[in-house]
Amino acid sequence: MNTERTSVYAGFLELPTKKAFEPFGNLYPISLVRQMAFEAVKTAFFHSPAYAVVGASKDQTKYGTKVLQWYKAREMPVTPVHPKETELEGIAAVKSIEELPSPSTTSISIITPSKITIDLLQKAKELNVPALWIQPGASDSACINFIKENDMVDKVIYGGSCVLIEGDNFRK
């Protein structure tokens, strides 16, 4: 999605376009633009051939591990990312997202403290990761600002949706 803005008018964004959106020409309601970006990232996320979970551990009560189990239960190809563990939930782990077999075709779920999340966002941008899902509690205003300032709004699910609750609906 092209997020380049030329003007904002009372709840509308003027976006460069070749086709007019009647009756507003190239003015789009901000809520529609946000919804279009959200739909695009959901589609991109679940059309990846591989997935990774950053934040899983050996602790079965932690949400990172529960997210990893969610992918495993659905037989989705998933790789845990952990700086110290070599295996989680019976799946070989890698130490960083740079070690994923193909980061540019892997969607990543993030369940980490926000100070780690911001570093992951920077690395994901460098590696051209197609889509990220920041689980609730894993981001702060610095993370959100980074997403917006780096044109990643159409690549990141953030702001409250949890894969454990919404994942099956989003996959449809």
- Residue 130: pLDDT band (50, 70, 90) is very high
The arrangement of strands across the sheet holding 27-29 comes to 7-9, 12-14, 27-29
Domain boundaries, the chain: 7-40, 42-171
Residue range 42-171 forms a domain whose CATH class is: alpha beta
pLDDT in tens, 36-66: 667 778 888 999 999 999 999 999 999 999 9
Q: Specify the pLDDT at position 78.
A: 98
pLDDT in tens, 69-120: 999 999 999 999 999 999 999 999 999 999 999 999 999 999 999 999 999 9
The token pair at 9 is: 């008018």
169 vs 100, residue with greater confidence: 100
Percent of the chain with pLDDT strictly greater than 90: 63
The token pair at 1 is: 């999605």
Contact 81, 54 (CB under 8 A): yes
